[in-house]
Structure 1
Amino acid sequence: MTAQPPLPIAVEEGAVPLGSAVSLVEDADGGRVFLHGQLVYAWDDGDTPTRRFAAAKLADIKAASVADIAAGFGIDPGTLWLWRRDLKASGVAALVPDKRGPRGASKLTGTLISDIKGRRARGDSFRTIAAAVDVSTFSVQRALSADADTDEGTETPAAPATKTAPVDGTSAVDGTAGAADPGPREVRLPVLPDPVDRSGERAAARAGLLECAAPAFAPAARVPLAGLFLALPALETTGLLGCSREVFGALAPGFYGLETILTGAVFAALAGEPRAEGATRIDPVALGRVLGLDRAPEVKTLRRKTAALAGTGKAGDLLTLMAAQHLNGSDDEGGDLAAVLYVDGHVRAYQGRKKIGKVHSTRLKFPVPATEETWVADAAGAPVLVVMAEPGAALTGELRGLLPTLRTIIGDGRRVLVGFDRGGWSPALFQHMAGKGFDVLTWRKGTTKDIDASHFAEVAHTDGHGETRTWTAADTAVEVPVGTTGEVFAMRQISRTVNVPGGGSRQIHILTTDTGLPAGEVIHKMGARWRQENYFRYARMRFSLDSHDAYASTDDDAERSVPNPAKRKAYQQVLAAKARYDKAEADTDAALLAARTPAPGTATVLITNTEHNAITADLIAAETALEQAQAAHQEIPARLPLGEIAPGQQVLETETKLLTHAIRMAAFNTASTLAREVRTNTGYARAGHEAHALVRQALTGSGDIDPSQDGYLTIRLDPLPTQRATAAIAELCDHLTATETRYPGTDRILRFEIKNRAASPTN
């Protein structure tokens, strides 16, 4: 017998699938639910109880998941749970919506609207205006909207009802809201419709006829990861996209262009997946909606595009150009970000099987196969530049080689304070930096005499957050020796007395060539160097700082001169022989003294040559061994070609790592900029402690994409779990909207809003 083909899920055009077996159709006549192509529920337009009954029963019989049913009916899963509970407890009668009471006259009189618009024109936030005129922030938004009715005592008309899910969380057919004065009805958007069809462009890209696909946005509600749109104004300030266009130009023709690849990589990093492999853990359709595409690029595409960019060898140029743009701006205090630069080395350990040179890791406390990097941070501790160091390179040499690059980035002859730790201690380097127009800020290394207590006095400094700190310090001038020729270099020394574990105290000393800064500010800036260490720790946890984004390697330069490890071993033998000689000398002196001292009652003592030789035999043997060890040490060359010491040694590919560093630095600086905006432009009470956490929460939140108005792209975010967080992000949205940032690759200006929590459904 011929098998009967399976029935379609829906038999009507335009049906919305709810899972794999159910479809929903809603139009002007009402709604219908099909189960495996069979009509199971139907209701007329306005028949709210039956509609709710159908949704509840579909969940009861497990025809589809609760999430799919809730999304299809335009409600929250919690609302669906309430409907099922009420139906089970009291039957269909419990699903009849409560009758809404009459509303009073609107407070938005013509005079009040004019007052609100005037305050907004002066730059007041929605919250400030609402408090001043005694209305809600949503009434302020109504007054400022283009369609606000300025007639005294009238209401703003609601948008015409449609049968798609609304953006304020209410049911499309119910039309109910859970609070008075919910504000104007927004344009209703379909819940997660299909993205714009890009099949034609993909076919053209496969044929090599498309340079790249431009972003195109479909109207959609409840879009996951819609909060990532908030990052775009801050991302623009990092210079990643603009500098990439200048350095790389464009990628080879294909569906995904340069801006899409970089923007998607930053979005993924902000969403918690900084590596290319993270694309497997992010819904490509959800991220694609934020990028204006049908789906985001997958792992193999990201790796291929990144490899193409790295193959140009211009990743270092990109970082330098981004650093120049970053340092030519100003921080939130209006100060110069390049006034202080912090430099530090970072060891990125390698765990693979390739033969990579070993480097001592301060964090791990033992030598490991690794790649060394030199990082530069601005006055606020934000990373601005990273360069790859040669294996085994010291921070002193890296600093000396980095100065011309820093001068090019800064772009003028102003003196810049460069802070670093004791790893860069070198009076010769200090003298060289001062001659090149850079001031030094570092800790003094080695032992030195304590400063007399009479030189100490109380100093203070007030930081950018208004917090004042005080220290007891001495401000003196010192001279540090340069080399072994007796030359000295004059520097300023700031000394402090600190407590040590177990009791007592000791003095620590800061050296600088800047004579104009107050002593308190010098201490503050030296302590602020830990911001760079904090970035390393944060980036290891959240931005995969030490990950290996490329596993390729090349042979190291076999002719490169490197320290001879045999020289160090021979020197250790010299030290051991010297210690044995010193001990033998002390023992011999004691033995000779005992032999020469006569016993009581003895007038003289006779020591024969044989006895003398026996006493001094160990000393002579130790002296001979010391001379032999010194001679062997002198014969060993201090440096040798790498090929003679470690044949076959390799170095990891660096261009891909530098490129990923640029992307993740942009992501970190983007999040930091948004956190700073939360602290300075919102009334969030705990912004000083929770700004970064609030930003991470907002960036991964859902919302609506509304491209209905030409020239604009409106992003309407869903409320956050708490009212205070929602209010803070609402103020942030106002501030970001004022920047008039364009979505990359389009002419649409971004506008940000957040939905009214009071308008969320309560049934």
Structure 2
Amino acid sequence: MDDRLEHAAVLYIDGHVRVYHGEQTLLPKHYVARERLCLRASVDYWVNAMDGQPFMVVHQVVDPGLIQTIEQEILPRLEKMRSPSHPSPLASAARPQRLLLVFDREGYSPDFFQRLRDQQVSCLTYHKHPGADWPLEEFQSQAVVLISGHVASMQLAERGTCMSNGLWLREIRKLSEGGHQTAILSTDYETSTKSLAAWMFARWCQENYFKYARQHFGLDRLADYKTEVITDPIRVVNPKYRQLDSQIRSANGKRSRMLAQFGALNIETPIEAAPMERFVAKKAALHEQIEALTTEITALKQVRKDTQHHIKIQELPEEDRFRQLSTHSKHFVDTIKMIAYRAETVMANILRETMTKTDEIRTLLCALYSCEADLLPDYPNKTLTVRLHHSARAHTDEVVRKLCDEITATETVFPRTDLRLIFKLGSSQYRRDQDV
């Protein structure tokens, strides 16, 4: 994996929420976009290459946010994995550059962009505050080579934009057929506009990995049902602060509705003594309620100001404390899943050379995993032949035969034996009821 990292200068970082439906611990709640609900969960931050292959995963029982995770967890680990003797493919003599990190709007922060640039790390993300649309005359049709190798035509335009901290960034916009302009920002000043656009809009590869891994690798499945005491000095939101903040937001909502009601009070009947007295009394009562709410909000804000926003998890009240899910088995299982997915990706790349419908490659591989095969050990020659059965289509057999030849050429030895694996495609010469 270290060797692959030397050539993977563009890395995608995104958080994946793992929902916990158990009752052994009350994990913090997170918003789960795929279910549109706030559920108890933990967050895994994945680092993937452009083709979706995973490099690492960082587990966070209490989510500190994307920016803090990148700076405190991901970048130090990448620094250890990368060898200084191998320069980055993105580096140049004018601007040394080690990595290009691609992430979503959660990582938008001008100060964060500056800190990354100081570490010779470029970033590529969406603009959180793009402003007004650009004139259509600025957009030009450009042929963009996608990650899959296909060429797509995109309407692109580029300007320089200055952030609030004085940092100048490249702003690239893509014009869709419906007229929508998608704005992206980058501190990579050397790469072409077409390449940056292709890399940014290839973020779907990471989302595809999450979806495929959930379906076929049990990405969200628990490795065990154990829980652990959190010993690290993790800082969490103070429950008292959260309660005060909720009360303030509730009171502000009530006051806003009362102010709207107060402004809508008008006398529409002819001005007479009795109706006017009732109108004035009603408006005075409403004004008194608004003043009382304003006083209450001011007092709550002062209490919130004097209340510590974050505290250590060990300082939580007993009723608010929680334990984390066991991570020992999870780290081991996640490593196996990453290796398995990367191995499957290698096989998929082999099949891509012979299959015309590339979207069916992984479907074929999943079918191969569950198909019947004959195991033929040959101890004198120290080989173990895995003979796969024929499929229903001749073209599929040709594709599988090529894959078998490629895997056999690796001369892999079956674990805990000295038998070299040989993969073949052919019908069995034995009956089902005959011993081999």
Give me the whole-angstrom Cα distance separating, in 1, the residues matched to 2:216 and 2:409: 30
Given the alignment of the two structures, is residue 647 of structure 1 paired with residue 351 of structure 2, yes or no?
no
Q: Which deviations, in whole Å up to 9, do the C-alpha atoms of 1:351-398 show, x marking residues without a partner?
A: 111222222222221221212111111121112211111324222221
Matches within 5 A, 1:320-331: 323-328=1-6
1:496 positional shift: 1.9
1:383/1:620 CA distance change after superposition, 3 Å: same
Matches within 5 A, 1:52-63: none
Aligned to 1:394: 65
Aligned to 1:438: 121
Aligned to 2:172: 494
1:447 positional shift: 5.3
Give me the whole-angstrom Cα distance separating, in 2, the residues matched to 1:760 and 1:725: 23
1:426 positional shift: 2.1
SS in 2 for 1:544: coil
Q: TM-score, normalised by structure 2?
A: 0.81
Q: Is the 8 A contact 2:51 2:147 kept in 1?
A: no
Q: Which deviations, in whole Å up to 9, do the C-alpha atoms of 1:593-649 show, x marking residues without a partner?
A: x9xxxx9xxxxxxxxxxx999977754652453243023122122234542385342
Aligned to 1:575: 252
1:396/1:466 CA distance change after superposition, 3 Å: closer
Q: Which deviations, in whole Å up to 9, do the C-alpha atoms of 1:706-734 show, x marking residues without a partner?
A: 42553544444333332212222222222
Q: Is the 8 A contact 1:562 1:639 kept in 2?
A: yes
Given the alignment of the two structures, is residue 551 of structure 1 paired with residue 204 of structure 2, yes or no?
no
Give me the whole-angstrom Cα distance separating, in 1, the residues matched to 2:257 and 2:406: 74
1:582 positional shift: 5.0
Q: TM-score, normalised by structure 1?
A: 0.48
Q: Is the 8 A contact 2:374 2:386 kept in 1?
A: yes
Aligned to 2:276: none
Q: Bigger radius of gyration, 1 or 2?
A: 1
Aligned to 1:467: 150
Aligned to 2:434: none
Aligned to 1:700: 370
1:689/1:628 CA distance change after superposition, 3 Å: closer
1:585 positional shift: 7.5
Aligned to 1:691: 361
Given the alignment of the two structures, is residue 512 of structure 1 paired with residue 186 of structure 2, yes or no?
yes
Moved more, 721-730 or 692-701: 692-701
Aligned to 1:750: 421
1:510 positional shift: 1.0
RMSD (Å), alpha carbons = 3.1
Q: Is the 8 A contact 2:139 2:175 kept in 1?
A: no
Matches within 5 A, 1:517-596: 517-556=191-230, 560-563=234-237, 564-573=241-250, 575-576=252-253, 579=256, 582-583=259-260, 586=263
Structure 1's unaligned 5+ residue stretches are 1-322, 329-335, 482-486, 600-610
Structure 1: which amino acid aligns with 2:121?
F
1:511 positional shift: 1.1
Structure 2's unaligned 5+ residue stretches are 89-97, 272-278, 432-436
1:626/1:516 CA distance change after superposition, 3 Å: same
Give me the whole-angstrom Cα distance separating, in 2, the residues matched to 1:558 and 1:380: 35
1:361/1:646 CA distance change after superposition, 3 Å: farther
Aligned to 1:405: 77
SS in 2 for 1:625: helix
Aligned to 2:338: 665
1:553 positional shift: 0.7
Q: How many residues align?
A: 400
Matches within 5 A, 1:282-297: none
1:555 positional shift: 3.4
Q: Which deviations, in whole Å up to 9, do the C-alpha atoms of 1:501-521 show, x marking residues without a partner?
A: xxxx33221111112222222
Q: Is the 8 A contact 2:61 2:324 kept in 1?
A: no
Given the alignment of the two structures, is residue 344 of structure 1 paired with residue 14 of structure 2, yes or no?
yes
Q: Which deviations, in whole Å up to 9, do the C-alpha atoms of 1:550-602 show, x marking residues without a partner?
A: 111123469743223114213304532662575477569x89xx9xxxx9xxx
Give me the whole-angstrom Cα distance separating, in 2, the residues matched to 1:646 and 1:560: 18
Structure 1: which amino acid aligns with 2:110?
P
1:455/1:585 CA distance change after superposition, 3 Å: farther
SS in 2 for 1:677: helix
1:491/1:566 CA distance change after superposition, 3 Å: same
